[in-house]
């Protein structure tokens, strides 16, 4: 059921036969890019290929939905680290069609949690804690609006240097086609 044994045995052979050599690069992104995108499995290889990105070209931050919700949450912190410490100077937020976060229903997620053994008491406690559980488990209605909102949070961040370009795009998870929904060209000095 678990993949761990297969992975560890494959890994021995991968390292032993020096297969890593072709991926050799530094920690600095060669194309000075940082990408925020979705964890969707269809994008694992497709997104870099569709953007002509090789190992070492871009910092890629992933979460469910390619969403930046908190100006001081950990996605934004990663973006700032990429910029200040790792030489990135261009940010790409890339949502995708047919995303699992489209229309994510918090009530349904909570039902699934209860089905898997999380107690109603725990759910109730969390609903009444400082954490807004319902909001936390809500996705978005429309990927375009979500990308525009994330781009806006990044662009308006008080700690973002003025010369950083921030773009919003949507990728087709089947063909890899990119649609630019908010380009930063107009912001270039």
Q: Which residues lie near Zn ion (CB under 5 A)?
A: 38, 40, 99
Least distance to Zn ion from the beta carbon of 101, Å? 6
**CA–CA dist 183, 180 (Å, integer):** 6
58 or 99: CB nearest Zn ion: 99
Q: Which is nearer to Zn ion, 38 or 79 (CB)?
A: 38
Q: What is the 3-class SS of the chain, one letter each residue? A: CCCHHHHHHHHHHHHHCCHHHHHCCCCCCCCCEEEEEECCCCHHHHHHHHCCCCCCCEEEEEECCCCCCCCCCHHHHHHHHHHHHHCCCEEEEEEECCCCCECCCHHHHHHHHHHCCCCHHHHHHHHCCCCCHHHHCCCECCHHHHHHHHHHHHHCCCCCCCCCEEEEEEECCCCCCEEEEECCHHHCC
By beta-carbon proximity to Zn ion, the closer residue of 79 and 99 is 99
- Of 83 and 170, which has the nearer Cβ to Zn ion? 170
Torsion of CA 65, 70, 76, 78, to 10 degrees: -70
What is the smallest separation between the CB atom of 141 and Zn ion, expressed in angstroms?
14
Residue 35 to residue 43: CA distance in whole angstroms: 13
Residue placing its CB nearer to Zn ion in the complex, 38 or 82: 38
Please, which residue, 31 or 62, has the CB nearer to Zn ion? 62
């Amino acid at each position: 059921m678990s993949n761990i044994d297969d992975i560890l045995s494959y890994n021995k052979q991968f390292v032993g036969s020096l297969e890593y050599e072709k991926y050799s690069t530094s920690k600095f992104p060669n194309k000075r890019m940082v990408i925020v995108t979705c964890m969707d499995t269809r994008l694992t290889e497709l997104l870099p290929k569709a953007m002509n990105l090789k190992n070492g070209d871009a910092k890629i931050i992933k979460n469910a939905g390619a969403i930046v919700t908190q100006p001081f949450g950990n996605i934004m912190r990663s973006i700032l680290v990429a910029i200040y410490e790792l030489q990135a100077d261009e940010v790409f937020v890339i949502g995708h069609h047919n995303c699992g976060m489209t229309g994510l229903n918090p009530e349904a997620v909570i039902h699934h949690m209860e089905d898997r053994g999380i107690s109603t008491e725990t759910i109730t406690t969390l609903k009444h804690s400082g954490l807004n559980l319902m909001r936390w488990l809500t996705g978005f209605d429309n990927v375009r609006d979500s990308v525009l909102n994330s781009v806006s949070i990044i662009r308006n961040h008080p700690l973002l240097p003025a010369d950083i370009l921030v773009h919003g795009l949507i990728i087709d998870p089947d063909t890899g086609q990119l649609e630019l929904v908010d380009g930063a060209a107009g912001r270039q000095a």
